[in-house]
Structure 1
Amino acid sequence: MPQRAATIVGGGIGGLAAAVALHRRGWRVEVLERAPQFIEIGAGISLWPNALRALDVLGLADTVRALGAVEETGGVRDRRGRWLSRTDNAELARRFGRPLVVLHRADLLRALTEALPADCLRPASEVSSVRVDGQSPVVAHPGGESRPDLVIGADGLRSAVRGALWPDAAGPRYAGYTAWRMVTEPLAEPPAEGAATWGRGERFGYTALPDGRMYCFATASLPAGTTADTSEYEELLRRFGTWPDPIPALLAAVPANAVLRHDLYDLPPLPSFVRGRVALLGDAAHAMTPNLGQGACQALEDAVTLAHCLDGTSEVAAALRSYDRLRRPRTQAITRRSARLGTLGQLSWPPAVLLRDTAARLMPARVTLRSMTPVLGWTAPGDESR
């Protein structure tokens, strides 16, 4: 079979993972990234057992684990700092065969880029149009036009590929709350375990990164586009500076200029992730809120599933239809589940908050773990080992 070519629009985690998966199967790939560099800034990422299984397929799981920290324990607390639920991540690893690993997003992106030949990577290559000429997809960019066998739209929530070829699809919908993300300076005595603290219409979470740093995240229910009257750091201090320990100490260790803020959106369900020889992947296909920590995990699953479907066939369009059948029901179900969890976490009416917290406190840990099986128990196509 002659060497096939793929153009991947978007150089984030999903796009790069797809490039690695296809490159290792003999495809000629190019990754078009509009930013001047392939880089992620400012935030951590949780890789759950299903994501590590996908990285196993890419041959990168050991590399990524070495860059991260294994979270041993965690859970959810109430506004007074009392535990509502605890998660034994050793039991999670036993049940699902892999641990929960937390690392900086930039480290994961670097591991993916280093697995590719440098000439695959095309920074500063914003796509100006995507169209179909007969049966062939055509991508226009600063270097000219690409007419590959396959185009992958991995260009995020506001995907240009989706906008061009799915013009009637509903746009992103606001989840009702905004999020802050930050990484502390190294701490002499970092917290021994991660936690998410649920308040009334607000949440604050933290988890360990390597080298004594902590990744922190916070949410607040606000209208879309709301801006702070002060700096984002001062806004965080105002909202969370008196929350239970160790939150004040964590905020004190965050550089004041290192706070990222983004309103949170998800994507209404698409009727298909494919058009002929064009496929959507990651947030471009199924953007979800971060409540389950599954956004990047699902993009990694997408990448290895797509490459598997393309194995051993010259019929790209048929392979993509198989990819759609495998990925769309799963990712859309996880998007809905994440949205429901976010709604619970952002409750603000005191009686509803009391009911939520009481139910969480009474829920046995084994039931919580069992409920995670549909998400974390994924196995890569062709690999049924647990």
Structure 2
Amino acid sequence: MKVIISGGGIAGLSAAGVLAQRGHDVRVFERREGPSTLGAGIVSFPNATRVLRSFGLEEEVRGVAGTPRTMRRMSDRGERLGDLPLSVINERLGAPSYSILRADLHEILTRFAEQSGATVEYSRRVTGVAEGGAVLLSDGRRLEADWVLGADGRMSSPLRKFVLGDNQARYGGFVSWIGVARSAEHVFDPHTVLDVWGCGERFGIVPISSRLAYFAGAAAMPRAAAHRSSIGPMLAERFSAWPQPVQETIRCADADSLREIYVHDHDPIDLWHRQRVLLIGDAAHAPLPTSGQGACQALEDAWHLGRLLDDGVPQAPSELFPRFTAVRREKANAIIGAGRGFAAMLFNPDPAFVSERNRRSRQTNFAEAAQGMAKLWAGALG
């Protein structure tokens, strides 16, 4: 079977490796000049770790990743709001959580795809699908394929437009500033994610080791109000009164790693396929980063494609694509909703709301909350 994948991100590379391992002719076309590092880092929560383990990649990931066990919530004034025991989720799902720089994960997944037999071409963009099913490329080529996977993200996916007729992403109402922090000193607790909540603002620090972390500061604002340059000084000023770990992280930030992101997601959809085209990853189900599951769900997409083939589901798009959508849609769409709900709570700028939110956080049974998260994240993994 010939497979063309539009997009060389986490979803595209994972699917490429899975399908190539099963003997299919897989070609990935990525519009960027090289592997993407957008996003600084991710947490592979245990549902995603189980997928990476099934791919034979867990050992590689472990070699460059951190192992978060707790997510500590604090207010912007330094008040402790509670500890979410990631260890409970890990135990429930039977795998650890790993924190990893996105560049490192992309390197691992690229190697997985290519060593499995897939080819990855950069600076090549799928621009659409012609009448009759030929795939159109930015260099003028027209290629035939049995499957065409749209893994080209949330913002400008020609294949999402082909399937749905439009590709309108929804602005989430907040801007995120991401980066990587490196220090010669041991400044990070290697097993504790720090999540600091303000009034319409948030700052998260995810350690890889005691000297390396990635981070995301965020604030509710109209899109036109976002900053375009001098991100480092702006962060230092905006978060100058926040707890010491936040200020230390900003001081250690690698200036070249800093990015400003207008955060978008998509409304949940029921239709993920049309003719030979199937949407996966963010092209199908882009959540806000507050879900914690964007990359994890991209990995799950690839795993489920492989499992359906292994279970003997016919390869014809009319057979397999509806089965895939039925397996994945409910969980992926629930995660979109969860991300939106959490963002609405985090970025509400009303002081009275924030005071009540923080009070409720202090009273939360976090072990019970962890069990609820584990139940959602474990869904459909078998």
**TM > 0.5:** yes
Structure 2: which amino acid aligns with 1:333? A
Residue 273 of structure 2: aligned partner: 274
Query: How far apart, CA to CA, are the structure 1 residues paired with 2:167 and 2:9?
Result: 23
Match of 1:57 in 2: 54
Residue in structure 2 matched with residue 191 of structure 1 by the alignment: 188
The 1:225/1:24 distance shift into structure 2, 3 A limit, reads farther
CA distance in 1, matches of 2:317, 2:308: 9
- 1:165 match: 163
How far has the Cα of 1:141 moved from its partner?
A: 4.0
Cα 1:357–1:303 change in 2 (3 A) is same
Q: 1:262-301 maps to which residues of 2 (within 5 A)? A: 262-301=261-300
> In the TM superposition, what is the alpha-carbon distance from 1:379 to its structure 2 partner?
5.0
Counting only pairs closer than 5 Å after superposition, residues 82-121 of structure 1 correspond to structure 2 as 82-117=79-114, 120-121=119-120
CA distance in 2, matches of 1:342, 1:198: 11
Residues 365 and 187 of structure 1, relative CA distance in 2, 3 Å threshold: farther
Is it true that 1:376 corresponds to 2:381 in the alignment? no
**CA-atom RMSD in angstroms:** 1.8
Q: Unaligned stretches of 5+ in structure 2?
A: none
**Distance (whole Å) between structure 2 residues aligned to residue 142 and residue 38 of structure 1:** 19
Q: Equivalent residues in 2 for 1:6-85 (5 A)?
A: 6-41=3-38, 43-85=40-82
**TM score, norm. by length of structure 2:** 0.93
| 1:220-254 CA-partner distances (Å, limit 9, x unpaired) | 01111433286111211111122012111111111
String of CA shifts for 1:15-72, please: whole Å, max 9, x gaps: 0000011011111100000112224256111110111111122221222122201012
Matched-pair contact (CA < 8 Å) for 2:75–2:198: yes
Alpha carbons of 1:127 and 1:230: their partners in 2 closer, same or farther (altered >3 Å)? Answer: closer
Superposition map of 1:105-144 within 5 A: 105-117=102-114, 120-133=119-132, 136-142=133-139, 144=141
Matched-pair identity in %: 30
Q: In 2, Cα distance between the equivalents of 1:228 and 1:316?
A: 44
Q: Tell me if the contact between 2:177 and 2:258 (Cα under 8 Å) persists in the aligned partners.
A: yes
Q: Alignment partner of 1:162: what SS?
A: helix
The answer on whether the counterparts of 2:6 and 2:149 sit within 8 Å (CA) in structure 1 is yes
Counterpart code for 1:260: R
Distance 1:137 1:61, change over 3 A: farther
Q: 1:235 and 1:5, CA in 2 relative to 1: closer, same or farther beyond 3 A?
A: same
- 2:81 and 2:66 map into 1 onto residues whose CA distance is 24
Moved more, 43-52 or 74-83: 74-83
Deviation at 1:306, TM superposition (A): 2.0
Q: Measure how far apart 1:210 and its partner are.
A: 3.8
Distance of 2:218 and 2:195 partners within structure 1: 11
Q: 1:18 is matched by which residue type in structure 2?
A: A
- Report if the CA contact (8 A) 2:164-2:271 is conserved: no
Kindly report which structure 2 residues correspond to 1:228-243, keeping only aligned pairs within 5 A, or say none: 228=227, 231-243=230-242
Name 2:363's counterpart in structure 1. 362
Q: TM-score, normalised by structure 1?
A: 0.92
User: Within the alignment, does 1:181 sit opposite 2:178 as a pair?
Assistant: yes
Q: How far apart in 2 are the matches of 1:116 and 1:332?
A: 27
Distance 2:376 2:199 in 1: 27
CA contact (8 A) 2:331 2:379 kept: no
SS of 1:129's equivalent? strand
Q: Secondary structure of the equivalent of 2:225?
A: coil
Q: In structure 2, give the amino acid aligned to 1:285.
A: A
Cα distance 1:230–1:321, how it changes in 2: closer, same or farther (>3 A)?
A: closer
Deviation (angstroms), 1:91:
2.7
- The answer as to whether partners of 1:310 and 1:320 remain within 8 angstroms in 2 is no
8 Å CA contact 1:67–1:210 kept in 2: the answer is no
- Count of matched residue positions in the alignment of Structure 1 and Structure 2: 375
Please tell me the residue identity of whatever aligns with 1:253: C
AA in 2 matched with 1:138: V
Distance in 2 between the 1:129 and 1:230 partners?
34
Q: 1:242 to 1:360 in 2, by over 3 A?
A: same
Unaligned runs of 5+ in 1: none
Distance 1:138 1:38 in 2: 22
C-alpha distance in 1, partners of 2:334/2:199? 26
Report the CA distance shift for 1:349/1:211 in structure 2 as closer, same or farther (over 3 A): closer
> Is the Cα contact below 8 Å between 1:8 and 1:30 reproduced in 2?
yes
SS in 2 for 1:121: strand
Q: Is contact 2:14-2:113 (8 Å) kept?
A: no
Change (3 A) 1:152 1:212: same
What is the letter of the counterpart of residue 252 of structure 1?
Answer: R
